[in-house]
Amino acid sequence: MSDQTATPPLAGTRIIELAGIGPGPFAAMMLADMGAEVITVDRPGGNPWAVGGHGILFRSRRHIAVDLKTESGAHVVRRLCESADGLIETFRPGVAERLGVGPQDCREHNPNLVYGRMTGWGQSGPMASLPGHDINYIALTGALHQVGRKGGPPVPPLNLVGDFGGGGTFLAFGMLAGILSARAGHGGRVVDAAMIDGASALMAMFHSYRAEGDFVEERGANLLDTGAFFYDVYETRDGKWVSIGAIENQFWTELCDVLDLPDSMTRDHLDPTRWDEYRKILADRIAQSDRDELDRAFAGRNTCYAPVLTLSETVEHPHHRARDTFVTVDDVVQPAPAPRFDGRPPTSPRPRRAPGADTLEVLKDTGFSSTEIESLLADGVVDSTP
């Protein structure tokens, strides 16, 4: 088995991140978790919006503070790009160009640079320049419409589908594809990672169902949206919840055995005309037990059952503890890097550093002379936090 710290898969890859919030930092975190060297360019003093809730997203980076509103600051970023494989920015379309750090500006210094752009609406189209957040982007893709119960309103699934699933994850994927292309001799690329594109791609299977006539656009009426009683969550006697996903016959039959359900339910659970009737029977049976009792009853059984855990319960679950799914960094419990390579996380996360904590080191590594660095500090172009 290979050494998890010696050769992470992206060792030798350098990414410049123009600090933003949400999906941009998440993409950079994914790349840093895989061993890429990520240099985050903060504004002097940091971004107040990137404090609460963003600490883990900025792990495992070096931080340099640069005033991008100055030409000298833009020049610093362009110099950083000379030795980088990629750059990530999360501005609205046109902002990076106005600052002098757009794709053309940076690729003049490095034609093999992969320039990643993270937006909600994309770099083109009539809505490209408008503001928005995850809830707006997934609303436009149809994803939000389909999440919720029958007869109820759409339910925002946190900001997982737009920001992190359709946004940051697709940006990281696009960056890797672009870097592979550049290393194959095809030159740098501009990655237009729009959350509306990524979230739409996540809906590919449901577009397929719709094309085949196996999907209706009513919430809570399909196989995977709580329409089917055997793919849903149920409340236990002690007010907690469990999840049931016993779609296939063999799993459903064993679940019926565990819960001692009526024989008729083992034969026609896929018949939609019986779903409302069977939902009540299943709910009543589950409500007779505490969640811990059900956990014990289902342990080791092939039933597609799992308790619905809170975040605090999650980190203590025996399966996560056995796999070290979570790690503690500076007393902060957080997800370990994923996916694993050779059975292990590829790196050990490092805590977030303060904006400007690595300014002097990064500038020296980039080739700035002591005189240049002193001038940049004196003019307020860069900031160094002890």
Q: Let me know if residue 5 belongs to a domain.
A: no
386 falls in which pLDDT band (50, 70, 90)?
confident
* End-of-domain residue from the set 321, 345, 367: 321
2 falls in which pLDDT band (50, 70, 90)?
very low
Read off the pLDDT of residues 46-98 as tens digits, 9 standing for 90 and up.
877 776 668 999 999 999 999 999 999 999 999 999 999 999 999 999 999 99
The end-to-end CA distance of the chain, in Å, is: 39
Q: Are residue 148 and residue 82 in the same domain, yes or no?
A: yes
Q: Let me know if residue 218 belongs to a domain.
A: no
pLDDT at 357 over 70: yes
pLDDT at 1 over 70: no
Q: Are residue 186 and residue 135 in the same domain, yes or no?
A: yes
Q: In whole angstroms, what is the distance from residue 61 CA to residue 70 CA?
A: 24
Q: Are residue 134 and residue 252 in the same domain, yes or no?
A: no
Q: Let me know if residue 122 belongs to a domain.
A: yes
Give the CATH number of the domain where residue 281 resides.
3.30.1540.10
Q: Let me know if residue 333 belongs to a domain.
A: yes
Cβ neighbours of residue 291 under 8 Å, at least 6 residues apart?
236, 238, 240, 241, 242, 307
Q: Which residues are part of the catalytic machinery?
A: 133, 163
Mean pLDDT of 93-117: 97
Phi, psi of 56 (to 5 degrees): -65, -35
Secondary structure letter of residue 21 according to DSSP:
S
Q: Let me know if residue 338 belongs to a domain.
A: yes
Q: Let me know if residue 157 belongs to a domain.
A: yes
Token pair belonging to 166: 């359709």
Cβ neighbours of residue 287 under 8 Å, at least 6 residues apart?
234, 235, 236, 237
Q: Residue 175 belongs to what H/E stretch?
A: helix 170-181
* End-of-domain residue from the set 286, 302, 321: 321
> What percent of the chain stands above pLDDT 70?
97
Length of the chain: 386
Residue located via tokens 């501005």 = 91
Q: Residue 41 belongs to what H/E stretch?
A: strand 37-42
Q: What angle do CA 182, 10, 34 make, to 5 degrees?
A: 135
Mean pLDDT of 270-293: 96
Residue located via tokens 């609406």 = 121
Q: Let me know if residue 216 belongs to a domain.
A: no
Q: In whole angstroms, what is the distance from residue 337 CA to residue 58 CA?
A: 13
pLDDT at 4: 44
pLDDT at 294 over 50: yes
Q: In whole angstroms, what is the distance from residue 20 CA to residue 91 CA?
A: 8
258 falls in which pLDDT band (50, 70, 90)?
very high
Are 109 and 81 within 8 A, CB to CB? yes
Please give the tally of structural domains in the chain: 2
* End-of-domain residue from the set 321, 351, 369: 321
Read off the pLDDT of residues 214-248 as tens digits, 9 standing for 90 and up.
999 999 999 999 999 999 999 999 999 999 999 99
Q: What angle do CA 130, 132, 134 make, to 5 degrees?
A: 150
Which domain does 302 fall in, by range?
Answer: 231-321
pLDDT at 367 over 50: yes
Q: Are residue 38 and residue 136 in the same domain, yes or no?
A: yes
